[in-house]
Structure 1
Amino acid sequence: MTDTDQSARSGPSLARLADLPWNRFHTVVVLLFGMGWAMDAFEVTLIGNVLGALRSRFHLGADAMSVILAAWFAGLMLGASGFGILSDRYGRRRVFLASLVLYGIATLATAFAPSLAALLALRLLAGIGVGAEYAAINAAITELVPSRSRGRAAAIVLNFWPVGSLAAALLSWLVLSAVPPDLGWRVVFGFGGVIALSAAWLRRHLPESPRWLIAVDRTDEAHAVIDAIEAGLTRLPAPEAAPFRRRVGFQGAMLATLIRRHPGRLALGALLDFAEASGYYGLFAFLPIVVLPALHLPAARLPVFYLAGSLGALAGGFAAAALLDRIGRGWTVGGFYLATAIGTIGFAAITGLGAGAIMAGFALVNCLATGSWIAAYPTFSELFPTTLRATGIGASVAVGRIGAMASPFLVAYAGSFSMKAALLLLAGFWLLGAAVILVWRFGGGIEARGLALETIADA
C-alpha cells in the first residue's frame, strides 16, 4: 500500500495531527529529543576539546588525530544508513531509544580505554549510535508536530546541538584546568556517557510516530496516539509489540525505491548534507589540527575556542529556527550557506592577527555554519514519504559523512601550506551547498513551508 493509499484511508486522522494546536505534548517531545541531541553534540564536540590531551597521552601526530575523527565519521555513516532503514522497518521509537543507549555505553566505556586501538573501536561504536539519532530523530520530530510549526520545531530540536557543544567545551575547560590532562579526558567521557543513558531513560514515554503506525497498518494504535497528543498527554504507554501486517522492503529494495521515485529529493538531501558536513566538521578539525600546532597553544586552552564557537552557534541556530517558517526553506538554507562561505573567506583574511582574532572568526563562522545545517535538515527531512523518510535521511547523512571523513585529512593537508588555504577549502564546500539549493528552488523543487507531509509526498 502506498503513502497515497494510506492517506486516503486515514486522511481525517492525519489531517487532525497536522492541524493540531501546539500543546504540552509538543513542548515535551521537543525538549526530550533536544536533550538527546545535545548529548550527541556533547560527544561530537568533546573529542575536539580533548584532542590536545589525547595527543599527549597516545603520542599522536596530525594524521593519527585525523584517524580518530575518521573512525567517528565512519560510525556516523554506518549508523545513519543502517539505522535509518531499521527506523522505517521497525519504527522510530525503537531506534531513538536504542541509539542513545548504544552511544551512552560506548562513551562511558571510552573513559576506560586502555589503548589507542580500544579508543578507535569505541569511537566507531559511539558514532554508530549518534548516526542512528540523525535518522530516527529527524524523522520522528517531522512526523509528530503540526505542519505550521514543523520547521521551527525541528530547528529547535537541532539547536540543542550548540547547547551540548557549549556544555562539552565548558566541562572540558573546567576539568582539564583542574586535573591532569590524562585523567581529565577520562572524566569528561565518563560524565557524557552517564548523562546520555539518563536521557535515554527519560525518552521511554515518548510514543511511536502515528504516521509510521498507519504505514504498517496499525491504525488503531495510531488513532490512540493521535488522541493522546491532542489531549496534551506527556506520558504515553509503550506501543504493543504487534506483528506487522505489511512487509517493508529490505535495504536494497528501499534504497532502490527511493532512488526510483524521488531522485531529486535524495540528491538534494545528499548534496546539502555533504556540503555542510564537509564544511562543518572541517571547521572543527581546523582548530586542533591547524591552529593548536601553529599557535603552540596548551591543550587546556583549546576548550576556550570551542566555548566561543558554541555561543556563536546558539545565535545561528535560533536565527534558522525563526526564519524557516517565516521566509521559507529555500531562502533560509540558501542564505545561510552563502553567508557561511563568505564568512569563511573573511575568516581566512584575519588568521594572521593572532589567537584573539581566530577565536572571534571561529565564533562568527560557527554561527553561520550552525544556522546552515540546522536549516538544511528540516528542509530535506520533510520531503521524503513516511515509509522511506528515515531511509532518505539516513542515506543523505551517509553521503555527508563521506565528506566529513575526508575533510579532516584535507584540512590537515591544506593547513600544511597555510591557515588561509585550509579555510578557503572549507568555503568551497559551503558554496557547493548554496548552488545546490539554488538549483532546487529555481528548478521546480517544492517549497514545503506550512504544507502537510502527505501533500509534500504527493507533490
Structure 2
Amino acid sequence: MKNKHENPDHHGVGHLARPDRPTAYSLSERFERLPFTGYQRWLAVILATCFAADAVDLVMLSYLLSAITLDLGLTVQQAGIAGGSVFAGVGVGATAAGYLSDRFGRRKILIHSMLIWGTASLLTAFSWDIWSFSFFRFVTGLGLGAELPAVFALVAEIMPANRRASISGWMHVASQSSVVLFTLASFGVISLIGTSLGWRAMFVVMFVVALAALYIRRNLPESPRWYEASGRHDEAEHAMRRFEAAVADAYGKPLPSPKSDGKVASAITGHGGFRTLFAPGYAQRTLFAWSLWFLFLLAYYGISVWVGKFLVDRGMSITASIGTGVLITMAGIPAGWITGQAMERFGRKIVIIIALLCVAVAAFLYGQASTYVLVVAAGAAMHFFLVSVATAIYAYTPELFPTRARSTGLGTASTVGRIAAVSGPLLISALILKWDYTGAFIACALCFSAAALLVWWFGPETQDRSIEDISS
C-alpha cells in the first residue's frame, strides 16, 4: 500500500498533481492557496532547530569567553581573536554554501553542514592554546554559516507570504529559548566541574546536538521553487504534489483551488549565482542588503561577544555574570514573536527602523549603566531589540532576491555581516582600551542609527507579496 503522501489523488489534490495533466497554475499560486497546517508548522520546527543551533553556539561563547580566557591564559587582544574566529568561518561558509545551495539544493546543504560544525565543536573541547581554539572555531563557523542561507531560503520558498515574517519570529523565539537553556547549562556545568572542564563540556554538548539535528532533518523536503528555478520542472511538479498531499493530509479535507490574479509569473529558470546579484534590478538591492548586514552585525557582535566580559569587568564573578546573562537573554524570547506579528501587520520597513533606533538607545544606556539594576534593565532592552532586528532582517533579506540566487544573496549578505562580526569584537577591544565601555557602546549605537537611515532610504517593502512578485 502506498503512503498517502505519495498518492496524488489523496484529499482532492489529484486535479493538480497527475503527471499526465500539467497544471496551468504557477507554483506561487499553488503555494499561496494552501491552508497553514500542522505540516508547515512541523517544517518550521525543523528549520528552527537549524537556526537555534547557530544562535546557541554563537551566544554561548559570549558567556564562556571569560572561562576560556582564564583557562588558556589569553590577553584581551587574544580574547578578541578567539571570539572573532568563528565569525570568519561563518562568513566563508555562508557565501560558499549560499552559492552551492542555489546550485545543488537547500536540503543537501542542511543535511551536510551539521557534520562540519558538530565535528569541529567536539575538537574545540580539546583545544590547548589560542591557535588551536581559533582554528577549530573557524571550522565550526564554516558549518554554521552554511546553514543559514538554506534555512531562510526555504522559509521564503515554502511558507505563504502572509506567514513568512511570523514564522521567522517563531524561529527566533525557539533560538532564544535554546540560548537561555544552554546558558543555564553553562552556569551549572562550570559551577559543578570548574572553569577548565566546564567550557570544554559545553562544546561536547554541541556535538551531541549536531547528532540529534541529523536525525531531525532526515525528512526535510526540497523546495519545489528551487527545482523550478533550476529548470528541473518534472522534479518541481513531483515535489509540489508531495507538498500539497502532505498539507491536504494535515488539513483533513480537499484543498482550496488556486486562483490566478494575472500578476504572478513563474520563477525565471537557470543557474543564478553571483552574476544575478548585480543584474539589472538587483544591484541596488544587493548593495543595500550588504550594507544593512555590515552595519548591524558590526555592532551586534561587537556587543554580544563582550557582554559577559563586561559584567565580569564590572565586578561580577564568572558564574554571576552567566546568571545575569540569563536574565538579559530571556528578554529576547518574546522579541521574535512580537516582531514577526508586527511585520505581518505594519510592514517590514517600519518595524526594522523602529527596532534599530530602539537598540541604539538601549546600547548607549547599557554602556553608561553602573548599578546591577541598570545593567540588567538596559541589557534586557538592548537584547530584546537586537533579537527584534535579527528576526526582521532574516525574514526580509531572502525576500529581496529571486529564487535562482536567493541563497547566494542571503549568503553574501551574511558574509559581509560576518566580516563585520570578525571586526566587531576586535574593534570593541580597541575602543575599550582607549575609551572604556562607554565609548565602545556609543560607537555601536551610531552603527544601529546609520542602519535605520539606510532602510528608510533604500529598503523596498515586501509585506504580503509573493517572492515572484517581489522579484519581478
TM-score norm. by structure 2 comes to 0.87
Instruction: Give unpaired runs (5+ residues) of structure 2.
Output: 1-21, 250-268
* Pairing 1:286–2:306 present: yes
Q: Which one of 109, 114, 119 corresponds to residue 100 of structure 1? A: 114
Once the two structures are superposed, the pairs formed by residues 19-58 of structure 1 within 5 Å of their partners are 19-58=33-72
2:449 matched residue in structure 1: 431
Give secondary structure in 1 for the equivalent of 2:442.
Answer: helix
- Contact 1:100 / 1:129 at 8 angstroms: preserved in 2? yes
Deviation at 1:151, TM superposition (A): 1.5
Q: Report the RMSD for the aligned CA atoms in angstroms.
A: 2.0
Once the two structures are superposed, the pairs formed by residues 305-316 of structure 1 within 5 Å of their partners are 305-316=324-335
Letter in 2 for 1:379: Y
- Contact 2:94 / 2:412 at 8 angstroms: preserved in 1? yes
Give secondary structure in 1 for the equivalent of 2:331.
Answer: helix
Q: 1:365 to 1:50 in 2, by over 3 A?
A: same
1:414 matched residue in structure 2: 431
1:457 matched residue in structure 2: 471
1:271 matched residue in structure 2: 291
Alignment deviations for residues 52-71 of structure 1 (CA, whole Å, 9 cap, x no partner): 11111110111101001221
Once the two structures are superposed, the pairs formed by residues 92-241 of structure 1 within 5 Å of their partners are 92-232=106-246
Deviation at 1:182, TM superposition (A): 0.6
TM-score norm. by structure 1 comes to 0.89
Alignment deviations for residues 302-356 of structure 1 (CA, whole Å, 9 cap, x no partner): 211321222111122121111111111011111111111122223233x22x234
Q: 1:325 to 1:247 in 2, by over 3 A?
A: closer
CA distance in structure 1 between the aligned counterparts of 2:141 and 2:248, rounded to whole angstroms: 30
CA distance in structure 2 between the aligned counterparts of 1:231 and 1:247, rounded to whole angstroms: 27
Which structure has the greater CA radius of gyration?
Answer: 2
- Contact 2:106 / 2:150 at 8 angstroms: preserved in 1? yes
Give secondary structure in 1 for the equivalent of 2:143.
Answer: helix
CA distance in structure 2 between the aligned counterparts of 1:382 and 1:19, rounded to whole angstroms: 19
* Pairing 1:392–2:409 present: yes
CA distance in structure 2 between the aligned counterparts of 1:10 and 1:41, rounded to whole angstroms: 42
Q: 1:382 to 1:247 in 2, by over 3 A?
A: closer
Deviation at 1:154, TM superposition (A): 2.3
Alignment deviations for residues 20-39 of structure 1 (CA, whole Å, 9 cap, x no partner): 11012210110011012111
* Paired residue total: 430
Q: Percent identity?
A: 26
- Contact 2:308 / 2:325 at 8 angstroms: preserved in 1? no
CA distance in structure 2 between the aligned counterparts of 1:360 and 1:437, rounded to whole angstroms: 27
- Contact 1:344 / 1:426 at 8 angstroms: preserved in 2? yes
CA distance in structure 2 between the aligned counterparts of 1:165 and 1:183, rounded to whole angstroms: 20
CA distance in structure 1 between the aligned counterparts of 2:205 and 2:221, rounded to whole angstroms: 28
* Pairing 1:18–2:32 present: yes
- Contact 2:299 / 2:445 at 8 angstroms: preserved in 1? yes
Letter in 1 for 2:76: A
- Contact 1:23 / 1:232 at 8 angstroms: preserved in 2? no
- Contact 2:109 / 2:146 at 8 angstroms: preserved in 1? yes
Give secondary structure in 2 for the equivalent of 1:106.
Answer: helix
2:262 matched residue in structure 1: none
Letter in 1 for 2:284: G
Deviation at 1:233, TM superposition (A): 5.8
Instruction: Give unpaired runs (5+ residues) of structure 1.
Output: 1-7, 236-245
Give secondary structure in 1 for the equivalent of 2:439.
Answer: helix
